[in-house]
Structure 1
């Protein structure tokens, strides 16, 4: 087997693994009971799934222009997903949609509580 064929197979494996992780993330968002669990499912496996998809694309396409765009998409995904999760968590906490009894540490609580 030549190098191109091996890279194509590795790309296919990464694409399938990324698609499965994204599917699991979507199912988690639908099935988990509260906001914090859904937020976890929407960020961690989904980001890893997208990164695996991007690696699979990079292994399959292999042109400098495509690799640059894939790198930009990956960096943007890594930069925005944690910020979005933080904002969702804070909004849920402030609107009262978080069961505070389930929290180990409540750093956002008023000091008087």
Structure 2
């Protein structure tokens, strides 16, 4: 009974991750500039990849397949790495684009801009 509950909880988490991927894809299509699209891509990378990996780990633990703990551990380790690396990469991309003035953008307040 418990393994069925863990399996279906994992399936729900995978489905929620798919919904986040869909929303991030819509954001990539609809958002107006690089910085906001980068935000949508990061949301897709974090929630659209980490949640399904956690769901697959739960689904693996809920099934009687051989080496299910090994599969779950690999999924959780990959999810942890993505959860840490995706925001850092997004921040570095935004910082580099701002410093290189690669994106035409006129913010109201620019904390990173040079003082004039």
Question: Hey, what does 1:86 align to over in structure 2?
Answer: 91
Gaps of 5+ in 1: none
SS at match of 1:22: helix
Is the contact made by 2:57 and 2:73 (CA closer than 8 Å) also made in structure 1?
Answer: no
Counterpart-to-counterpart distance in 1, 2:54 and 2:102: 39
Decide whether aligned partners of structure 1 residues 14 and 70 sit closer, same or farther in structure 2, where only a CA change above 3 A counts: same
Please list every run of 5 or more consecutive structure 2 residues that lacks an aligned counterpart in the other structure: 62-67
Write the distance in 2 (CA, Å) between the matches of 1:34 and 1:69. 36
Give, in whole Å, the separation in 2 of the partners of 1:96 and 1:46.
23
* Alpha-carbon distance in structure 2 between the residues aligned to 1:12 and 1:29: 26
Provide the residue aligned with 1:97 in structure 2: 103
TM superposition shift of 1:99: 1.4
Q: What is the SS of the residue equivalent to 2:39?
A: helix
Q: Does 1:8 align with 2:7?
A: yes
Q: When the two structures are superposed, what TM-score results if normalisation uses the length of structure 1?
A: 0.84
What does the per-residue CA deviation read over 1:55-87, in whole Å, with 9 as the maximum and x for residues that have no partner? Answer: 210111122211221122112102211121112
| Residue 38 of structure 1: aligned partner | 37
Residues in 1 aligned to 2:101 and 2:112: alpha-carbon distance in whole angstroms: 13
Residues paired across the two proteins, number: 109
* Contact 2:10-2:57 at 8 Å conserved across structures: yes
Scaled by the length of structure 2, what TM-score is found?
0.82
Secondary structure at the aligned position of 2:18 is classed as: helix
Q: What CA RMSD, in Å, does the superposition of the two structures yield over aligned residues?
A: 1.6
